[in-house]
Amino acid sequence: MKIVVIGGSGLIGSQVVNKLTDQGHEVIAASPATGVNTITGEGLAEALDGTDVVIDVANSPSFEDTAVMEFFKTSGKNLLAAEIAAGVKHHLALSVVGTDRLQESGYFRAKQAQEDLIKASGVPYSIIHSTQFFEFLSGIANAATDGDTVRLSPAHIQPIASADVATAVAKVALMDPLNKTVEIAGPDKFNLSDLVQQYLTKNGDPRKVVADVHASYYGVELNDQMLVPGNDAKIFNINFENWYVNQPKKA
């Protein structure tokens, strides 16, 4: 089977490429660096020729409201049009648990626009909603830092390891299109502020996390339901401790 992975050199994409290649499929890691650009359309037709499945795990280089909306709309329209022309049989997109509940955020409005384009395209599809990745804890802390203080919501979060996300994406890619959205999550629920404090402490980082129910998370004031999956989510096994032990440590 020929599979094109849009964003194939990123955190999730590179792992998906490796998993599907190891299973004997012809996999193209598509990105501007490999001559495939979903914004300009460069290389899309050539990459998608004879392709059975397209996996889109690309992310916007900017989270600014206008830029991120332009990225997901333009990329989505160009990619889906090229898929229709090439006769692609399955479009799989990775999105975020709670996207529909986080619409105060420009980023999540853009992700919703991406999902709406997919559903309206006529291309058979699957959408995977994932909870936040453990790998993004550092970025979350940095975005909420003021001096030595990290101000974060104590709202519930149920993060997942990127390796488990890649496993889910690779599995669904080889299935018949679901034509619906499914959710995936890690095994444990935390308070966001507590989890980030644990992470910083393990790294010997002196910053202190202050729990603030009004703290903004990418432009949204959170409640306990926004970042956690529903009852039908597929729960994966890698927990925070197992994930952390296997992370490369700074010299």
Contact 33, 10 (CB under 8 A): no
Helices (H) and strands (E) in the chain, counts: 8, 14
pLDDT at 249 over 80: no
Q: What is the pLDDT of residue 218?
A: 87
Please give the radius of gyration of the chain, using alpha carbons only, rounded to the nearest integer: 18
Q: Which CATH architecture has domain 2-245?
A: 3-Layer(aba) Sandwich (3.40)
Q: What is the identity of the amino acid at 70?
A: E
For the chain, domain boundaries: 2-245
Tokens 């020729």, residue located: 49
* Cα angle 176, 38, 85; round to 5: 55
pLDDT at 130 over 70: yes
Query: Residue 218 corresponds to which tokens in the numbers above?
Result: 């990418």
Q: What is the pLDDT of residue 250?
A: 64
Average pLDDT over residues 35-46: 96
Contact 220, 96 (CB under 8 A): no
Average pLDDT over residues 123-135: 98
pLDDT cut 70: percent of the chain above it? 99
* pLDDT tens for each residue of 146-156: 999 999 999 99
pLDDT at 139 over 70: yes
Q: How far apart are CA 83 and CA 87, in angstroms?
A: 6
- What's the whole-number average pLDDT of the chain? 96
Q: What is the identity of the amino acid at 227?
A: L
